[in-house]
Structure 1
Amino acid sequence: MASLIALAPVAWLFFLSLGPDKDDYLHPGKILGKLSFSNYSFVLENTGFFDWFKSTMIVALGTTLIGVFVAATTGYAVSRMRFPGYKQLMWVLLLTQAFPIAILIVPMYEIFGQLGLIDTYWALIVINCTTAVPYSAWLLKGYFDTIPFEIDEAGRVDGLTPFGTFFRLILPLARPGLAVAAFYNFITAVSEVAFATTFMLDDSKYTFAVGLQTFVSQHDAQWNYMAATAVLIAIPVSVFFYVVQKNLVTGLTAGGTKG
């Protein structure tokens, strides 16, 4: 029953994406006899879909690579090293999640403007990492806690440096946790709207989340084209989920039960 409830909006979105008119969603009976894939053709041929796709992938993959690296090194340092303020560091990271993201728009715009990063992919990558790294660091810290400390000691006995131990011994064992962090960073970047709308001025650099807004005007909305675009957006997200899904359950369980 829960699965049916969860899948109902997805089925309705796909059904709406096949409808011929933006107002027919109010009358499902009108859609049944007019279903076609013409909306998908329109989106692919007459919008900036491929520019949106390129921009989204650059931002999402950049956020994932940088965010996971920063979160993994932070989580490992707090899990293994007892430096002054290590506990406070994790609480400060957690505290950043308590504030609404909207309060950062104006100060970040001023900072990026001074650095010349407005209308660049780096602006979105940096702000997405700022959003995603705190949770990812907490998650990975919990996962690193489940890895026996004897592995680190074995690395030192073999002459490995702390970085060598981390990259050659710990990271391969932490793949489930890394998969969860990667998926979280990827989803954060793909779905982010506020900063992408504010920082990206060039139409060709719009991400998917911003591109969807082009189908909405002050007095009207092209729901069928929006639905078709949303279905297409789900494809790369589903592919990424398929790549990491084998490790997701293990990583979520381990990272969430100890920390």
Structure 2
Amino acid sequence: MTAPQASRTTTMAVVTRRPGVRPATRRRRGPRPLLSIITVLFGALWIFPISWMINSSLQTDEELYGSGLLFFPVSFETSSYLTVLQDGSFWSAMGMSATVTALAVGVSVLSAIVAAAAVSRFRFRSKGAVIVTILVIQMIPAEAMFLSQYRMMDSWSLINSALGLALLYAGHSIPITIWMLKGFIDGIPYDLEEAGQVDGLSRFGAFTRVTLPLLLPGLVASGIFAFLSAWNEYTLALVIMKDNAAATLPLWLQRFNVSYEATDWGGIMAGSALIAISVIIVFLIVQGRMATGLVGGAVKG
């Protein structure tokens, strides 16, 4: 057999379908154009309130109170933003919200790490009862505890205090934060901690040096939840922070609305946009840390 005949025979043997094996068929693709249209519609519904807020904040009073609807600003008026930024109470509320949120996130995450590690790593008789108790506490409406919380803060002299409001926010965020971190800890093999203990680490040292770095995505996710809960909360702050000097941003926005004879919709929309921009900036910063934590955890695992 010559060389060309041998190569032709080899090619035919490779191409020949083996018995019992079905040829690969192309998967039928779904109606992608229809799915894309539905996705765009849902995206438009989600982004419409945000675009309307920014659009209204950049319009003049004549455009806002005119008979016609403007879906895009014509004059791009920034006087509403200047009014808000020149208001000293806005920066005071910004500082109060930042302080309360930072304290609430710190207390929530640190407390939840300890509780989630105990529930996930240790075995004890009342473990199931603890888990059920966490669920029951999370189901209680926040409004049902306003009176008792106010009396408790009043007895501790923490009314109109950033620490008092932060403790209440942390109390509301800790149950769900424990659940979130417990799921992340359960996903990390305990063999890694045992390996660290074999290398001479204590149990606490193995958790902090082996498990905790891998837990970074969970810490960021639970921290984002606690941050959003504290930053946007209004009703509890309305009960605890009665003094205008101790107002958070949601309270400032409500009091800014009633401080004028007529509703200043441009100022309200500008203030809302600035509050939302602060959240977006924080989320963008934390999102990068979350991606880094995911990559680092994959490499270390």
CA contact (8 A) 1:120 1:200 kept: yes
d(CA) in 1 for partners of 2:282 and 2:83? 26
Residue 133 and residue 30 in structure 1: after superposition, are their counterparts in 2 closer, same or farther (change >3 A)?
A: closer
Query: What is the alpha-carbon distance in structure 2 between the residues aligned to residue 198 and residue 192 of structure 1?
Result: 11
Aligned residues: CA RMSD: 2.5
Note the 1:1-259 alignment, pairs <5 A.
1-21=41-61, 24=65, 27-29=68-70, 32-217=73-258, 220-246=262-288
> What CA distance in whole angstroms lies between the structure 2 residues aligned with 1:248 and 1:159?
30
- Residue type of the alignment partner of 1:21: D
User: Runs of 4+ in structure 1 displaced over 6 angstroms?
Assistant: 249-252
* In structure 1, C-alpha distance between the alignment counterparts of 2:257 and 2:223, rounded to whole Å: 31
Q: Which runs of 5+ in 2 are unaligned?
A: 1-40, 295-301
- Superposed displacement of residue 202, structure 1: 2.5
CA displacement at 1:29 relative to structure 2: 3.9
2:21 is matched with none
d(CA) in 2 for partners of 1:29 and 1:106? 45
The CA deviation at 1:19 is 2.2
Q: How many residues align?
A: 252
Per-residue deviation, 1:247? 6.2
Quick one: structure 1 residues 25 and 143, their matched pair in 2 at CA, closer, same or farther if it must change by over 3 Å?
farther
CA distance in 2, matches of 1:191, 1:14: 18
- Once residues 45 and 71 of structure 2 are traced to their aligned partners in structure 1, the CA distance between those partners, rounded to angstroms, is 24
Alignment check: 8 A CA contact 1:24 1:31 kept: no
Deviations, residues 119-146 of structure 1 (Å, cap 9, x unaligned): 1011111111111111111011011011
TM-score normalized by the length of structure 2? 0.77
Q: Distance in 2 between matches of 1:162 and 1:172?
A: 15
- Identity of matched residues, %: 29
Deviation sequence 1:40-68 (CA, Å, 0-9, x none): 00001135111111001101111111111
1:83 Cα deviation from its structure 2 partner: 2.0
Superposed displacement of residue 220, structure 1:
4.8
The higher relative CO (CA closer than 8 Å, separation ≥ 6) is in 1
CA 32–233 in structure 1, closer or farther in 2 if over 3 Å, else same = closer
Distance across 2 between alignment mates of 1:54 and 1:107: 27
How far did 1:32 drift? 4.1
Unpaired segments ≥5 residues, structure 1: 253-259
Deviates more, 1:43-52 or 1:225-234: 43-52
